[in-house]
């Protein structure tokens, strides 16, 4: 099929990866009201077209934490992303590094921090959850330090997992034991290309960063169950200060939707915050990042960097978020769809597509610099 936009990568990935995996990446919580709201509210942002502004030379790059990024874009952390292609996070990290944008590796990635750093030649940003086992959290922080990860993204909007009905229907969750395994194997067998490239040549199929806790041969459903049982609902602002005390580099707090929470995050030592509702995967009915962003910019925009995610499907969406005051934009599902569709080549093409779309949007709004 011809890939002209991100939606085409989505369709190609749907055809290539097992159903349960596609549903996990694609879906939101409950009735997906917030997931759809992210898309709708972002598409409703009106841009001001300007003319005769000399846009022959455009610069979409920014400086962030002492580094030059080719675009104000970060490939967002997405759990299980690396199962969409053979050692997928390594492939995506290579594409991101070549394009000059960061990839943020999820705690629940298929590939370990160390594998991604070695395989791509560049240490990824690292995303951390607060789990009950503080020893595990401390160990993950040490591993991120040892790998020279440039930034830590601390996700705070997951004290408990959201109710994701699509994952239950697909058999990824809720159907454990033999029944669940049989369902997932049957779905994988319906994608023979994936079975060969990922299922056989891409082993081990584990959540690499947590495999040491449960063992490399543990079924995927057991990994997910362990995580669900170990997210810490007692986590509070003191825990953020504890993480700050253990991490000397840039600390980015992800999952902020309220101005008071933004102020608390900055007070606790955050160098940046991500205005985010977890891609519509947690509280269904929550504000979209688009609606939450202006109030948070007013509250802390003068004192910290502000990132935003949710609903990003094009370079035009990057400009939309920038127009509302975001410094940097995160995109998650697009790069994972591209990875599932075409591997590293797909992620490279997706980033180039975003840049081309952003440059057109800059030219038509008369913006020489992002």
Separation between Cα atoms, residue 110 and residue 224, nearest integer Å: 12
Residue 203 burial by Cβ neighbours in a 10 Å radius (0-12, 13-18, 19+): exposed
Beta bridge partners of 103: 75
DSSP three-state, residue 29: coil
- CA-based diameter of the chain, in Å? 66
Sheet holding 251-256, edge to edge: 73-75, 328-331, 305-309, 272-275, 251-256, 152-155, 125-129, 104-105
Separation between Cα atoms, residue 306 and residue 163, nearest integer Å: 28
Distance of CA 71 to the CA centre of its chain: 16
Do residues 333 and 78 touch, judged by C-beta distance below 8 A?
yes
Tell me if residue 258 is catalytic.
Answer: no
Handedness of CA 193, 197, 201, 207 (dihedral sign): negative
Task: From the candidates 19, 254, 278, 320, give the one annotated as an active-site residue.
Answer: 278
DSSP three-state, residue 68: strand
What amino acid positions are annotated as catalytic residues? 278
């Amino acid at each position: 099929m011809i890939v002209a936009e991100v939606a085409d990568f989505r369709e190609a990935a749907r055809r290539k990866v097992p159903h349960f995996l596609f549903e996990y990446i694609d879906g939101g919580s409950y009735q997906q009201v917030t997931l759809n709201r992210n898309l709708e509210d972002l598409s409703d942002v009106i841009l001001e077209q300007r003319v005769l502004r000399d846009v022959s030379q455009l610069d979409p790059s920014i400086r962030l934490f002492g580094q030059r990024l080719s675009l104000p874009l970060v490939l967002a952390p997405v759990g299980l992303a690396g199962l969409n292609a053979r050692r997928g996070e390594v492939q995506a990290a290579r594409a991101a590094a070549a394009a000059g944008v960061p990839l943020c590796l999820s705690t629940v990635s298929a590939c370990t921090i160390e594998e991604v750093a070695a395989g791509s030649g560049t240490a990824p940003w690292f995303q951390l959850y607060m789990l009950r086992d503080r020893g595990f959290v401390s160990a993950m922080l040490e591993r991120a330090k040892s790998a020279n990860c440039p930034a830590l993204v601390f996700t705070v909007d997951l004290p408990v997992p959201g109710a994701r009905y699509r994952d239950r229907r697909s058999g990824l969750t809720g159907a454990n034991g033999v029944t669940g395994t049989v369902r997932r194997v049957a779905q994988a067998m319906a994608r023979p290309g994936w079975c060969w490239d990922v299922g056989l040549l891409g082993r081990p199929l584990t959540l690499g960063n947590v495999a040491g806790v449960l063992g490399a041969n543990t079924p995927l459903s057991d990994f997910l169950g362990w995580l669900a049982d170990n997210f810490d609902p007692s986590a509070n602002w003191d825990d953020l200060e504890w993480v700050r005390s253990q991490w000397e580099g840039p600390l980015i707090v992800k999952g902020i939707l309220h101005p008071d929470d933004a102020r608390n995050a900055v007070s606790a030592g955050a160098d940046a915050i991500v205005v985010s509702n977890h891609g519509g995967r947690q509280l269904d009915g929550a504000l979209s990042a688009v609606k939450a962003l202006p109030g948070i910019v007013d509250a802390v925009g003068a004192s910290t960097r502000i990132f935003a995610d949710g609903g990003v499907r094009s370079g035009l969406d990057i400009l939309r978020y920038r127009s509302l005051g975001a410094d940097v934009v995160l995109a998650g599902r697009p790069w994972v769809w591209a990875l599932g569709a075409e591997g590293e080549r797909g992620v490279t093409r997706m980033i180039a597509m975003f840049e081309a779309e952003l440059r057109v949007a800059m030219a038509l709004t008369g913006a020489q610099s992002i």
